[in-house]
Structures are given as C-alpha cells and as structure tokens.
Amino acid sequence: MPIDKSDRGALLREYLNDAREAILWKCEGLSDAQARTPMTSTGTHAMGLLLHLAVTESGYFIECLGREIQNPVIRSISDSDDAQADFLPPPGMTLNDAVMFYKEAIAAADGVLDELELGSPAVVPWWGKHRHTTVERLLVHMIAESHRHAGHLDIVREQLDGFVGLRPSAPNLPELTADQWEEQRLQMKKLAENA
C-alpha cells in the first residue's frame, strides 16, 4: 500500500505515524531509571508502554497478516502466557533497546503494509467473533491503540520531569510561563475543591 496523499490508506498511515512520532519523542532524554519508574498504581511506565507498542505493532501488522515476527525478544514476549509480559521489560533491557525494538517493529509493519491494500484480509485470533477482518480495520485499531498510549506517555513524562507537548512537529500547547501554568493549575484545583 504505497503512500499517496489522496487516498484513505495514506491518511490512516499519516495518523498512525503521528502517534509513533509522539511516542518516540516522549521517550527522548529519559534515563533507564526514569523510563522504568512506575508512575501509576498499576505500574504504568514509559519503557513498558514502549515495549507493549512494539509487541502490539508486531502482532497486528506481522502475525495477523500471516507473517512471522523476526525479533526473538518480541516473539518470546508475544508467545508468553503472562498477559502482562509486554508491559514488563526484562531486567537487562535498556530504554535504547526498547526504542530499537519499537523502531524495528514499525519498519517491519510498514514493510508489510506497503505490500497490501486496505481490503486485504487479516485474522486476529484474540478478537473472537470479529477475528476475520481487513488491513484497514487493523490500521484503525492501531491508530486508536497508539494514540491512547501516547496519551499515557504524555502523563507519565509530565510527572517524571515536566516535559509536555503533543509531538515535535506540533507541540499543541500555549506558550505559558511556568508561573502562568502554576496559576492555571491552582485555579483548577480551587474549582475542584469548591465543586
């Protein structure tokens, strides 16, 4: 499916690539310790989200399209009986490793997508009654999945070191000073307390 700006496939891939760009940007500049720091009560952390997305891209765009996942780490995690394995990077994994796995998964996925049309068949075994589907539906699903986790990364990263913005090409935030942001936060907190 070559990218042509006038077709639906190109538009879908553009939205997916926007999410991919945001995800990688949110991981830039983090130390391994920061990337592994759980920021929610369920343990959400940057490296876990990145690894999950590498496994998910590989699952939907490689495995569900009849190809074999080549990366042995991703394949091992995909084959694991542990439902949380893709969110739990092995102890020796670095953030650079996770970034590399994600970039490799993207490249492999794009290679397969370049060969197929939106209507090409796909089989998603874990979808039950909707298991027989199309490349287009996989793209829509991965756009939603990727943007959802990009949002998680937004929050995790802001909690870690205050880094904010949508993606490098479109920060999507007003240019407020730290004092202006704090004033706005305090106003919102006051409204919440008075609700």
- For residue 2, pLDDT over 80 is answered with no
pLDDT in the model for residue 153: 96
CA–CA dist 22, 156 (Å, integer) = 13
In the numeric block, the tokens 């949508």 are attached to: 166
Q: Is residue 47 part of a domain?
A: yes
In which band, very low, low, confident or very high, does the pLDDT at 55 lie, cut at 50, 70 and 90? very high
Q: Is residue 63 part of a domain?
A: yes
Instruction: Report the CATH number at residue 186.
Output: 1.20.120.450
CA atoms within 13 A on the CB side of 176: 13
Q: Is residue 184 part of a domain?
A: yes
In which band, very low, low, confident or very high, does the pLDDT at 4 lie, cut at 50, 70 and 90? low
Q: Is residue 2 part of a domain?
A: no
Q: Is residue 58 part of a domain?
A: yes
Q: What integer is the mean pLDDT of 35-39?
A: 97
CA–CA dist 148, 143 (Å, integer) = 8
pLDDT in the model for residue 7: 85
Question: What is the count of structural domains for the chain?
Answer: 1
Question: What is the span of the domain harbouring residue 39?
Answer: 8-193
pLDDT in the model for residue 120: 97
pLDDT tens per residue across span 137-189: 999 999 999 999 999 999 999 999 988 888 888 888 888 888 998 999 999 99
Q: Is residue 139 part of a domain?
A: yes
CA-closest candidate to residue 77, choices 61, 53, 100, 99:
53
Q: Is residue 70 part of a domain?
A: yes
CA atoms within 13 A on the CB side of 22: 27
**Element of type H or E holding 175:** none
Cβ proximity of 86 and 101 under 8 Å: no
Q: Is residue 17 part of a domain?
A: yes
- For residue 29, pLDDT over 70 is answered with yes
pLDDT tens per residue across span 77-94: 999 999 999 999 999 999
Written as six digits, the tokens of 105 are: 């998964």
Q: What DSSP state is assigned to residue 174?
A: -
CA–CA dist 150, 19 (Å, integer) = 6
Written as six digits, the tokens of 37 are: 């720091």
The two most distant CA atoms of the chain are separated, in Å, by 57
